[in-house]
Every structure is written in structure tokens, then in C-alpha cells.
Amino acid sequence: MPIVNRIADFHADMTAWRHDIHAHPETAFEEARTAGLVAGLLESFGIAVERGIAKTGVIGTLTGASPGGRAIALRADMDALHIHEKNGFAHRSQNDGRMHACGHDGHTAMLLGAARYLAETRNFAGTIHFIFQPAEENEGGARVMVEEGVLARHPVEAVYGMHNWPELPAGQFAIRPGPMMAAFDIFEITVSGRGAHAAMPHLGIDPIVAAAQIVAGLQTVASRNTHPLEGAVVSVTQIHGGDTWNVIPDNVVLRGTARAFVPAVHDAIEPAIRRIAEGAAASLGATARLHYERRYPPTVNSPDETEAAAAAAAALVGADNVKRDMLPSMGAEDFAWFLKEKPGAYIWIGNGASADPAMLHNPHYDFNDEILPLGASYWARLAETVLAK
Ligand SMILES: [Zn+2]
Ligand SMILES: [Zn+2]
């Protein structure tokens, strides 16, 4: 795999950092040990460090050989997931019930490797901010960083992100301009009827039948309410109601998630869910109350920064190994909050170690250590190209 030679020298160190972080996973806004490790390493490389941003975030700031007025940000995420790891290797999680199942341990190690190289060489003009963010999973650590004024305090012309992608073979990258990942919303529908003896349903109003009709009706949000060529997903993921065989309950609670890429589709989903839920419930004499929350915006790459990122990747692996035609993912990414503020690009790095790799968020997942030097080399090449002297 073609990589920056000096970064190849760090492979063993990056692997050791990665294994250390993997063995000590910490979840949203609790990444104290991880942040301490990151800050200590950045300082040992001679990089100025700010700690405690968005509780546990760390930012390293490095100026190039010639200062210049330009600046970019490179971002990695540090948090783990609430998953019980099923791997048996030596670096498996020592925090039971928490696991680096999304590869943020690898993301952190790759950006640390790049920071060490760039601090040694400083072969760029301007300033690089290395953002190590907390709470990418569910809790929006990037949003909190933006709200705390990180980008106001560190004005950058662009911000770049990277995520490993197990379905993509190691040695490849994938990127596209425009939406790369979807907006992520959550919803809860409380369906209220009137409980009754299950043998005398005519004396009550059955919220379970209403909930069933609502679930069926919600399948038409994407199929009948949004443009057929624009992506939308509405998934009901929880149904809670009833306690026993012979009682119709008063209430049923449905929960789920919605996804979309473009504003016109995104904006159509909530009113469609409300209309279907309230209408279906009313048709049976029940009521439905919708609680809807927009969690993450879509992750949208800007055109120029996408080309810069693709070129940096192609310089390492060749243009054929930078996939430009992959479909965007309906998954979500809180890097979107940075891209809402600044131009930038988010790239996938192939993590596939075998023909049948464990997916992200799988209890058998592990980051592929073989790609650590490639990911770090991508960061280095990108920074040196964008901030060329
Ligand atoms: Zn994840
Ligand atoms: Zn992730």
C-alpha cells in the first residue's frame, strides 16, 4: 500500500495507541482517559493543545514552516458505543458493555499519526487544527463544539473528516460531492385508546389495532409522499404496549427513525408522519400524539473540497482506487454540524480486511490496523496539498 515513508515508521506506535484506546472504550462526553492520551501525545509532538472543549474534546493547533494566513481543520472522533464486545483478542474492551465498534479508535490513531508527521516536517503554509471530538454517536459532540465557538475561535477555510468503511476494500477510498450521509431524526408516537377486557373489545378503543394501522400507513411516507428519486427512510423500531393475554391496554408507544438527504424531502417527513398517525388513530376513535426531533443534519460535501480530498487520496492509491460513484449512506454522521458551518469533505477509507468483514456497530467488529498508515498519509497529503507552501 503506497504511503508516506516517514508515516510507515509510526505504524507500530499507531497500532499501540489504537489498541490502548480500543481496550479502554469510553462513550459520549465521558472520553476523559482517551482525551488525556490524545492531549499528551499531541504535546509530546510539540503541538499546542486545548482540552475540555465540549466536555472532553481536544484541539491541537500546528503552524507550518511559513505561517501564512490560511487554516484548515482535520477531525477525528473518539467515542465508543454501548455494545458488549464479542472479540477475544488481547486488546478487547476492558470496560464491559462499552466497545469501539465504529472504529473511532482507529480514526483517533490515524489523526495522531498525521499530527506527529506534520509536526516533524511542517511542510505547509498556514495553520492546521486537529479536532478530536467527543460523542459522535447519537449525542452530537460536533454540534456542542460548534455551539462552544470552536470554529469562531479557529477560523478555518475548510474542515475535513474521514470514516472507515468495512464494505470498501482496504487500499480504497470513496467520496462524492453533495450528500454523503443522511439527516437523522427520531420520533415517538403515543397512541391512546381505552383499555378493555380483551373478550369485550367493543367496550374499549383498541390502541394496538390503531398502532398496527399507523405502522402500515407509515410505509407510504417514502413511497407516496416524497420524490421517487430522492432518498427517504421511515423505520419503526420499537412497539411498546400491553402486559398480558386478555387485556386491551390504554396506550401503545411507537418509536423510530427517519432519514433523508435533501431539505424538500426532509421537511415533508414530519408532517406526513403526523397526518398518517393522527388520521389512522382518529379513524378508529383513538388519538395519536407525535413527538419528532431532528438530531443530525445531512452530511453534505462541498465540490472544491471534495476534489481536494479525492486528489489527496488518489496521490496515494491511484485514481482507480478512489470510488467516485458509490451511493450515499442512509447512516448519519455528526460531522454534518461542521459542514453546516464550513465548506469541507468527508471521505470513507476502505477497512475491509476480509471478504466478509464485520459491519460497523457489530460486536465482532475491529478496526483494521493495516490501514493506519494509509489513513494518516491521507491526512498528511491533504494538509500539505491544500496548504501548499
Ligand atoms: Zn458509529
Ligand atoms: Zn463512527
Cα of 218 vs centre of ligand 1, distance in Å, is: 26
Cα of 204 vs centre of ligand 2, distance in Å, is: 46
**Spans of the chain below 50 pLDDT:** none
What are the residue ranges of CATH 3.30.70.360 in the chain? 183-296
Which pLDDT score is estimated for 68?
A: 78
Residues with CB under 5 A from ligand 1 (ion): 102
- Taking the CA of 81 as reference, the closest ligand is 1
Cα of 232 vs centre of ligand 2, distance in Å, is: 21
Sort residue 171 into left (φ over 0), alpha (ψ -120 to 50) or beta. Answer: left
Cα of 148 vs centre of ligand 1, distance in Å, is: 23
Cα of 136 vs centre of ligand 2, distance in Å, is: 7
Q: Distances from the Cα of 320 to the Cαs of 103, 148, 315, 351, in angstroms?
A: 25, 40, 11, 17
- Taking the CA of 75 as reference, the closest ligand is 2
Predicted structure pTM score: 0.92
- Taking the CA of 137 as reference, the closest ligand is 1
Which pLDDT score is estimated for 200?
A: 97
Cα of 123 vs centre of ligand 1, distance in Å, is: 33
Which pLDDT score is estimated for 151?
A: 95
Cα of 57 vs centre of ligand 1, distance in Å, is: 17
Cα of 310 vs centre of ligand 2, distance in Å, is: 20
Which pLDDT score is estimated for 59?
A: 98
The total of other beta-carbon atoms located within 10 Å of residue 43's CB is 12
Pairing of strands 66-77, 125-133: parallel
- Cα–Cα nearest to 211, from 244, 256, 271, 268: 256
Q: Which CATH number fits domain 5-180+298-386: 3.90.25.10, 3.40.50.300, 3.40.630.10, 3.30.390.50?
A: 3.40.630.10
Cα of 351 vs centre of ligand 2, distance in Å, is: 12
Distance separating alpha carbons of residues 53 and 20, to the nearest angstrom:
22
Cα of 369 vs centre of ligand 1, distance in Å, is: 18
Distance separating alpha carbons of residues 191 and 280, to the nearest angstrom:
10
DSSP secondary structure letters along 351-370: EE-SSSPPPTT-TT----GG
Distance separating alpha carbons of residues 256 and 276, to the nearest angstrom:
15
Cα of 79 vs centre of ligand 1, distance in Å, is: 9
CATH of domain 183-296: 3.30.70.360
What are the residue ranges of CATH 3.40.630.10 in the chain? 5-180+298-386
Cα of 101 vs centre of ligand 2, distance in Å, is: 8
Which pLDDT score is estimated for 231?
A: 94
- Taking the CA of 184 as reference, the closest ligand is 1
Which pLDDT score is estimated for 165?
A: 95
Which pLDDT score is estimated for 355?
A: 67
- Taking the CA of 367 as reference, the closest ligand is 2
Provide the total of helices (H) and of strands (E) in the chain, helices listed first.
Answer: 11, 16
CA angle 234, 236, 240 (to 5 degrees): 160
Cα of 303 vs centre of ligand 1, distance in Å, is: 25
At 332 the three-state DSSP class reads coil
